[in-house]
Structure formats: structure tokens, C-alpha cells
Amino acid sequence: MSDTSPDKAVAEATSSKRKDYLHWDDYFMATSLLSAKRSKDPVTQVGACIVDQQKRIVAIGYNGFPRNCSDDEFPWSKCRDSLEDKKLYVVHAEANAILNSNGASLVDTTLYTTLFPCNECTKLIIQSGIKQVFYMSNKYAHKKNYRASSRMLNAVGVVCTRHVPARKQIVIDFDAILQDDE
């Protein structure tokens, strides 16, 4: 008769490799999504994360105003042809990630971004030597500047792939973690 005691089940579960660990691509995309949570943009929050060939995160960024430009003073509105348009002021997530890399070489790195990069970010991606891009949303694919991105990325051979998550959700439950300590 097989031993199905709770003790044996616990022993087995705690002595062998966990099976539901995060896959690398989900891990880095989730890191970008978490970074996006820092964004104050009321419409689109973008996060980006740059990873080297040893799977080390070398930089992270999200969309926001330049340092010392107050989130309370600068506009989050969209007002074409007006000085009150956020577009004039926001530093894009990918640009922030590249700037946050602190001088590290980005040659042959991989960028994970929650939104397909615009043409301006794409120029920076190419110029910094990033070789691969994973994105989640491509909601602006029809727009001219995003079509220009695809054109540049294809032309120079930066591999650009929509990330297909291996799992449906990742939950961070602070309460449950704290309860574990009690």
C-alpha cells in the first residue's frame, strides 16, 4: 500500500525542486509591469526593463516627467497644439530605462517593454545596441510613428516579439506574506 500520509506529502513538497517557479520571460515582463505601476500617466502606464546575456537586469524605467519637473505642475492631458500636452514633457519608459543604465554597455541586451516602442524609443534602442525586444501591448500599431518603429526594427534585424505569458497571473499578496510570519 502506498504511503499517502500528510507528512510524506510535505516532505516531498519541501525536498524537491519547485515546479511553479517563474519563467525568465514572465519574470522580466512582470518586472516591467511592476515598474509601470510607478507611472502617473492616467491613460497609459509603460514599464521597461533591460536584461543582459547573463539574465541580469541592467536597467529599469517607466514613463514620467523629467527629474524635478513636478507631476503636479506639468500636464497629464492630451491637448494637441497646446503647451498643455503631456507629449511635450513625458520621458518614455524605454528612454528612461536606457538612461538609467548608468553607462553600462547595452550591446546585445534584451528589452522587455509593456508597450511596443514608438519611433523615438526605437531609435534609442537601435543606437544603444539592444538586440531583442519583447512587448505586451501593441495598441498603437496602426499609428504612423509605430509603423515607422516596425520599419526600423525590421531593417536592422532587431528581433521584436509579442510576449506570450506562460502563466495567467502573478499575485503579490503582501497580507499573505505578513501572515506567514505570525
Ligand X SMILES: O=c1ccn([C@H]2C[C@H](O)[C@@H](COP(=O)(O)O)O2)c(=O)[nH]1
Query: Which residues lie below 8 Å from residue 99, measured CB to CB, with a gap of 6+?
Result: 61, 91
**Which part of the chain contacts ligand X (CB under 6 A), choosing from 3-11, 13-21, 86-94, 169-177?**
86-94
> Does residue 166 contact residue 23 with C-beta atoms inside 8 Å?
yes
Told to judge if 182 belongs to the known catalytic residues of this protein, a careful annotator would answer no
Q: Output 57 or 148, the one with its CB closest to ligand X.
A: 148
> Is residue 137 classed as helix, strand or coil in its secondary structure?
strand
Residue from the set 50, 51, 93, 136 that interacts with ligand X by CB under 6 A? 93
Q: Output 25 or 41, the one with its CB closest to ligand X.
A: 41
CA distance 121 to 62: 12
Judged by CB under 6 A, does residue 85 bind ligand X? Answer: no
Q: Output 8 or 139, the one with its CB closest to ligand X.
A: 139
**Which part of the chain contacts ligand X (CB under 6 A), choosing from 5-13, 16-24, 92-100, 155-163?**
92-100
Q: Is 69 annotated as a binding residue?
A: no
Please identify which of the residues 84, 94, 120, 182 carries the catalytic annotation: 94
CA distance 160 to 158: 6
Q: What is the DSSP string of 39-85?
A: ---SS---EEEEE-TTS-EEEEEE-BPPTTS-TTTS--S--TTSTT-
Q: Please give the residue ranges that form the binding site for ligand X (CB under 6 A).
A: 41, 43-44, 46, 63, 78, 90, 92-94, 115, 117-118, 121
